[in-house]
């Protein structure tokens, strides 16, 4: 069995999920971590006994590192990913993969040029309920898709946004769509297919940030179906739910819980809904879910076998494009058609 050396950039909140997965997978070995914050490096070194770097470009020279995972503020993803790929490393990057379509295109081009794998973390694709939903769709159990709906009704208070200066900024993050809701938008488009157009309203109602803390949008799909998106980080007093509903002429499914992990409705001809609802695992302890383990396992397998990872760059780009289209619908007060015209590919700043 081949064991792959990992280097991680950005030892903050989500890095813990990466480190837990890397250090528990048999064919992964944590070689090094990088952060500009020395205290975080010391903590990682004490816990994992790995090498540490303050400058990621130095870490990229380390020949024992074959796979780099990027857990830094979103605005840094594209440059770090491209530098890592050009140094010959396979790259698994946190969502959103980039802040603009130009950046995403440059990352995808770098992967093609260098021949390494580029994967984007959308760990909810591995939620058991979501895997079951996707299988039902592939088997045609929904008949003709009619519509869908997603909600992200979460709570992120002032303390959360004050934790790091990049949070909620246009240059480094975006708002509740680009940060918190991108996973569910990824799932929606994965289930319902390519988006034809979007129309949206967003607002910054309650938090002192540049990005939006509330959004509603309508998505029209190329197959004639449509969907509503309702997202916010202002729900009082704590996270309420994250749901995805898919409706077809012969099927109804609702996946909910705090982070689309729990089947709430499952109505198909000949299926006993009560049994399906009873026969499921417990919800994860937080909104990040259990999926990072499966995401990293899948990525190693992709590198090992030469196949594409579950969410390659091209696939990660799709949710990014939908959110940029939503932002531009808000800016221009109009329905925005996909693919986005060049004038819209300017990043998230409005």
Smallest distance, Å, CB 73 to ligand NAD?
Answer: 6
Q: How far, in Å, are 183, 226, 260, 338 from residue 241 at the CA level?
A: 14, 22, 8, 29
Please choose, from the candidates 237, 220, 238, the residue with its C-alpha nearest in 3D space to the C-alpha of residue 229: 220
Does residue 61 interact with ligand NAD by CB under 6 A? no
Contact at 8 Å (CB) between 175 and 209? Answer: yes
Among 35-43, 109-117, 197-205, 244-252, the segment contacting ligand NAD (CB under 6 A) = 35-43
Helix (H, G, I), strand (E, B) or coil at 301: helix
Among 12-20, 216-224, 260-268, 340-348, the segment contacting ligand NAD (CB under 6 A) = 12-20
d(CA 227, CA 235): 22
Does residue 40 interact with ligand NAD by CB under 6 A? yes
Does residue 298 interact with ligand NAD by CB under 6 A? no
Neighbours of 221 (CB within 10 A): 20
CA 153 from chain centre, in angstroms, equals 17
Report the residue number, 66 or 95, with the smaller CB distance to ligand NAD.
95
Residue whose C-beta lies closest to ligand NAD: 12
Report the residue number, 12 or 193, with the smaller CB distance to ligand NAD.
12
Does residue 82 interact with ligand NAD by CB under 6 A? no
Residue 13 CB partners (closer than 8 Å, separation 6+): none
**Out of 19, 22, 28, 34, which residue is the one contacting ligand NAD (CB under 6 A)?**
34
**Out of 8, 9, 44, 263, which residue is the one contacting ligand NAD (CB under 6 A)?**
9
Does residue 94 interact with ligand NAD by CB under 6 A? yes
d(CA 249, CA 90): 42
Residues that bind ligand NAD (rule: CB under 6 A) add up to a total of 25
**Out of 164, 235, 340, 350, which residue is the one contacting ligand NAD (CB under 6 A)?**
164
Does residue 258 interact with ligand NAD by CB under 6 A? no
Contact at 8 Å (CB) between 110 and 81? Answer: yes
d(CA 189, CA 187): 6
Contact at 8 Å (CB) between 102 and 343? Answer: no
Q: How far, in Å, are 23, 245, 271 from residue 191 at the CA level?
A: 32, 10, 20
Does residue 95 interact with ligand NAD by CB under 6 A? yes
Contact at 8 Å (CB) between 253 and 127? Answer: no
Does residue 74 interact with ligand NAD by CB under 6 A? yes
Smallest distance, Å, CB 272 to ligand NAD?
Answer: 33
Does residue 284 interact with ligand NAD by CB under 6 A? no
Residues making contact with ligand NAD (CB under 6 A)? 9-15, 34-37, 40, 56, 71-74, 76, 94-95, 121, 123, 164, 179, 288
């Amino acid at each position: 069995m081949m064991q792959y050396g990992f280097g991680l950039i950005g030892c903050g909140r989500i890095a813990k999920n990466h480190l837990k997965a890397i250090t528990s997978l048999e064919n992964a070995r944590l070689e090094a971590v990088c952060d500009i914050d020395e205290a975080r490096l010391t903590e990682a070194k004490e816990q994992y006994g790995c090498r540490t770097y303050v400058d990621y470009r130095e870490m990229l020279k380390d020949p024992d590192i074959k796979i780099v995972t990027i857990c830094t503020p979103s605005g840094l993803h594209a440059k770090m990913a491209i530098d890592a790929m050009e140094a010959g490393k396979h790259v698994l990057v946190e969502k959103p993969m980039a802040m603009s379509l130009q950046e995403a295109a440059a990352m995808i081009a770098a992967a093609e040029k260098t021949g390494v794998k580029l994967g984007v973390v959308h760990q909810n694709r591995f939620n058991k309920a979501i895997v079951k939903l996707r299988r039902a769709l592939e088997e045609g159990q929904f008949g003709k898709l009619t519509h869908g709906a997603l909600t992200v009704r979460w709570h992120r208070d002032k303390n959360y946004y004050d934790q790091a200066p990049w949070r909620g900024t246009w240059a480094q993050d975006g708002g509740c769509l680009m940060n918190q809701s991108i996973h569910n938008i990824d799932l929606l488009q994965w289930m319902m297919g390519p988006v034809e157009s979007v129309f949206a309203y967003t607002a910054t109602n309650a938090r002192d940030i540049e990005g939006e803390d509330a959004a509603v949008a309508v998505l029209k799909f190329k197959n004639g179906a449509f969907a509503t998106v309702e997202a916010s980080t202002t729900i009082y007093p704590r996270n309420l739910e994250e749901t995805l509903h898919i409706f077809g002429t012969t099927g109804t499914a609702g996946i909910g819980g705090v982070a689309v992990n729990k089947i709430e409705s499952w109505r198909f001809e000949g299926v006993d809904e009560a049994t399906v609802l009873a026969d499921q695992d417990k919800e994860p302890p937080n909104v990040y879910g259990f999926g990072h383990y499966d995401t990293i396992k899948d990525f190693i397998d992709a590198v090992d076998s030469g196949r594409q990872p579950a969410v390659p760059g091209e696939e990660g780009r799709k949710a990014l494009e939908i959110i940029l289209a939503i932002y531009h619908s808000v800016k221009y007060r109009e329905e925005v058609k996909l693919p986005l015209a060049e004038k819209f590919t300017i990043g998230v700043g409005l």
